[in-house]
Structure 1
Amino acid sequence: MSFLIRVLINALALAAAVWIVPGIQMSPFADDSLSVGLSYGVIGVIFGLINALVRPIIALFSMPITCLTLGLFTVIINAGMLMLTSWLTQFTPVGLHVDAFWWDAIVGTIIISIVSAVLGVFVKSDNR
């Protein structure tokens, strides 16, 4: 159940980023509401898997520069994970397209982080 809630939070955060940042677009299965929701769910799963599998490895190897920048390099890592999600969704029926790294991916990452943090407050965690 916790996995589904995290996917839903990822999907809503990605939807907010697509809605706010003009350089991030999503192409759904079809144009009806159910297909758009399922498309965000698929992209949320892909984004969650990348954050669970790839991000810890990148964060470990970039720990010196993250410490040197007092944690600000984490934003760059998260933007890279968003760009990796954009690249991987090219091979699926749904698509997430991020135009530019320095503007669209960075701002999109900040929006995704804020929305995820706000929605995470309302979700009861198993370890609390």
Structure 2
Amino acid sequence: MVRFIVQALVTMVGLWLAAALLPGVAFTSTGSLIAAAIILGIINAVVRPVLVVVTFPITVITLGLFLLVVNAATIGLTAMFLGGFVVDGLWPGIGAAIVTGVVSWSAGAFIQDEAKG
């Protein structure tokens, strides 16, 4: 449970940074940002693995770059479910996926996994 909360906080920072840096990504309130991080975490746990398996052949052909589109799709799906979160198209979604991924990657470098610790 603690891991999910930490991951949601990291995702929240990534989404906030994406909204601050990228035109086409926006939140109406802090509550929308919190809800988007939680919903994105649930979508990443349930829907994303299915998308990764279904799109595996094109992911191999593009040497993994299609995973950016999969991540953008999960962010777009989150925006569809949540009225206070707006992503205006594929390119802002890919940009948000890149920013959120970089923030998650960099936070993962500083946060130790309890299995390693």
Measure how far apart 1:40 and its partner are: 2.1
Corresponding residue number in structure 1 for 2:74: 81
In 2, the alpha carbon distance for the partners of 1:58 and 1:39 equals: 25
RMSD of Structure 2 on Structure 1 (CA): 1.1
Alignment of 1:49-128 (within 5 A): 49-90=42-83, 95-101=84-90, 103-128=91-116
1:54 is paired with a residue whose SS is helix
Q: Percent identity among equivalent residues?
A: 32
Q: Is the 8 A contact 2:32 2:82 kept in 1?
A: no
Count of aligned residue pairs for this structure pair: 115
2:41 aligned partner, one-letter code = G
Deviation at residue 126 of structure 1 after TM alignment: 2.1
CA distance in 1, matches of 2:23, 2:87: 9
Query: Shift of the alpha carbon at 1:67?
Result: 0.8
The CA distance in 1 between the partners of 2:79 and 2:55, in whole Å, is 22
> What is the letter of the counterpart of residue 109 of structure 2?
V
Runs of 4+ in 1 over 4 A off after TM superposition: none
Residues 16 and 111 of structure 1 are in contact (CA less than 8 Å); yes or no, is this contact kept in structure 2? Answer: yes
**Structure 1 unaligned runs (5+)?**
29-35
TM-score by length of 2: 0.93
Cα deviation digits, residues 8-66 of structure 1 (max 9, x gap): 001011001001001101011xxxxxxx2x43222110011111100000101111111
2:1 aligned with 1:3, yes or no? no
